[in-house]
Amino acid sequence: MSSLIPADAVPRPVYLADNLLGEGPLWDTLENALYWVDIKRHRLYRLAGDGPRHWQFDEEITSIHRHAQGGFVVTLRHAIARLHLPEGTLEKWLTPEPDRPGNRFNDAVVDTRGHLWCGTMDDAERQASGALYRVRPDGDCRQQDRGYIITNGPVFSPQGDVLYHTDTLARCIYRFAVDDQGTLGERELFTRLPTDQGFPDGMTTDREGNLWVCQFGGWRISVFDPRGRLRQEIPMPVANITSCTFGGPELATLYITTARKGLDDDALAEQSEAGALFALDTLTHGAPAPTFASPA
């Protein structure tokens, strides 16, 4: 198979954020800006032509997506909320798990129907108390799958007919067929990472339907074709690769978040760029991130 990146392309740091747990990158086509979060430090970042900026919150902010009625929809520790920028004000909206105080939200994605899919996890990373939810703009919030210690990387195929979702500690990536109403079919194993390659974390898809998988503790991003065959491995200069998305004017640059979480002083001395935001030139393209909105 042909390479998905130029022969001389290597991941390059574009912002030395020193993120403890960088996650959730979003390329915002409205502003031509990249947003991402540092979950453990309760921060939201923005990087654009006018330079970097960040906002500090009182609790974890774990994902961000555009809201059709203005601002953004975000997931916090226990709530789904509206976020208004640049003020940084939050309006909490839904709290799907009031009976599970040890859980928190983690990763999320908006599908082509304008629905938000978001996962919860056990913040202590011990109990399989996490679940996957589908949230509609009218406030309808329904559990779609459960039994995860750490949910991660929900992402859709370009046509919106397949959902990929990760059970991180089990090293499994699952595949679900999605019908025209946005209903999931049965959970199927898409691929399982070898034990010496870290854990599957955040993911994205390109316009060909390839799945780009970030590997926490794995020093790499692996790309799988829609049939689950490994197409390419991309080495990274740091161990903890957390998530990625396509951005830039042509949606051909892969932006990659990383983490310092779990690294001791010796590891940090070896990985001086751990926690940075990286960029990688590719020979493919992503698709614009959908907006959280009711279908027209």
| Whether residue 201 lies in the annotated active site | yes
Find the catalytic residue in 145, 201, 206, 264.
Answer: 201
User: Six-digit token pair at 166?
Assistant: 């990760």
| CA separation for the pair 31, 161 (Å, rounded) | 28
Contact status, residue 210 vs residue 231, Cβ threshold 8 Å: yes
Quote the strand ranges of 85-128, DSSP E.
Answer: 89-94, 103-110, 116-122
Query: What does DSSP assign to residue 197?
Result: G
Between the two ends of the chain, the Cα-to-Cα distance in Å is 39
User: Six-digit token pair at 57?
Assistant: 């919150």
If we measure between CA atoms, which residue out of 148, 145, 141 comes closest to residue 96?
A: 141
Peptide bond preceding 86 in cis form (omega within 30 of 0): yes
Instruction: Mention every residue, 6+ apart, whose C-beta is less than 8 A from residue 210.
Output: 4, 223, 224, 225, 226, 231, 284
Contact status, residue 175 vs residue 161, Cβ threshold 8 Å: no
What Rg, from alpha-carbon coordinates, does the chain have? 17
- Provide the 3-class DSSP secondary structure of residue 99: coil
CA distances from 198 to 100, 195, 214, 238 (A): 28, 6, 9, 12
Query: What does DSSP assign to residue 181?
Result: T
| CA separation for the pair 66, 287 (Å, rounded) | 15
Instruction: Give catalytic residues, as residue numbers.
Output: 201
